Structure 1
Amino acid sequence: MTARSVLSRVRPVRPGRRRLVLAAAMFAAGFAGLAAALLWGGPALAQSLTLDLGQEGGSTTARLIQLVMLITVLSLAPGLLVMVTSFTRIVVVLSLLRTALGTQQSPPNVVVISLALFLTGFIMTPTLREAWTNGVQPLIEERIDEFEAFDAVAQPFRGFMLRTVRDKDLRLFEDMAQVGPAETGLNAPLHVLIPAFMISELRRAFEIGFLLYLPFVIIDMVIASVLMSMGMMMVPPVVISLPFKLIFFVLVDGWYMVAGSLVRSFGVGP
């Protein structure tokens, strides 16, 4: 048997089988390298993390309390945004507007909340700037302590809430907390002022929502009457009235009117 006949009988290696052999060889080499690194590698050095809480016992306790208070404030930040700013009124009005239009999830919740946040930031800019200048910046520069900074930050928000809260709502919580009017004003306790401010904001939001609902209810009634007169009782009036409500809202420049009215309701702008 000649060498040529032997070579002719040897089957060529298929490309797929060749790639499989190559992958197995690479895996074996990588596994061998990893085993060598684990067996002959040097000791691993972890970075140390230290938290300086002071040297004395009293200082350590005070710093621990400050740390707990900071974590608490950060966890309550979304709630504070809702409670002491214009966010409540704006987001409720926008939600009622979406319901009045009958668009269900359009605009979606993300868009509604984002618009409410930016309008809140626009309205609250003077208050936030005053709180930063009088409270946060001196605290960063270590000119005042944490308690003085809290009072300085709370004072602008207290003034904002007092300008918009309804006197009747404030008197209600003053009576329940047994706090006289002489003790309120610019020094009104936050546990009295914040709930009064929130129910005042909800009341105004519902008032604005009622005014927004009226034209769309009229459109629904007109469409329903037309459908009944045509004998089309099985057709849902909402399906027919939705495009008319949308074009009506666009023609009257609804977003311009709603956004402008919300901002001006807080005394911002001319």
Structure 2
Amino acid sequence: MMTTLSVNVNAIAMLRNRRDLPWPDLESLARIALEAGASGITVHPRPDQRHIRLTDVPQLSTLISRSFPKAEYNIEGYPSEAFLDLVCRIRPDQVTLVPDDPAQPTSDHGWAFETAAELLAPVVGRLKAEGMRVSLFADPDPAGYEIVPQLGADRIELYTGPYGATHSDPDARDAELSRLSLAGRRAQALGLGVNAGHDLTVPNLPPLIAELPFLAEVSIGHALTADALEHGMAGAVRRFLGALSGSEA
């Protein structure tokens, strides 16, 4: 099973929002990414709409359902009532729940499952009842992972930010890779699917896949968008797909 690529388009939306103009065109670039072989699109709508706007969410859902019915739509967010109402209306293939404070610039930690179980249990139940796969954002530390199946979640998404931050330090990279390997294998042993995301790049994907060949999905936005400035969106997607398959150095 090859790990699939979901393209996070938040960075594109943030660039668009710098001006009161309709470009870069989010729907057009999502279409290019899917045509180039991406398996899905990820969005993370935040309350302040600083990148993905609420109007973007149904627009991208329509694009996928009409033009790319085999692709998946993944919506990330903190399980506020407004967020839950949104995803229950859109019904994406996957909902990734993150423990973000609304003021955070980006996701930077996973759930503390021991203390969050009371919050998460009814949320997961509600989303599963609506037919959505549920993934929970997780630190690369298996403490508390045994609670996740009890909550009814299908997957975890390993937070790979610390791994991505080791781009110029091989020793630190190896240490973080070991943490991810231990966490991912513990999740797999518990019967959970394993996703990964945050600061993944063309160079650091192959070692991650070698350690965790059972990864179901990686969600990539910042580095892929940066690559697209040089290679175009289609070229960037192909580069990341190559890194996932081992054919891109």
Q: Give the TM-score of the pair, scaled to structure 2.
A: 0.25
Normalized per residue, the structure richer in helix is 1
Larger radius of gyration: 1
The structure whose RCO (Cα within 8 Å, separation 6+) is larger is 2
Normalized per residue, the structure richer in strand is 2
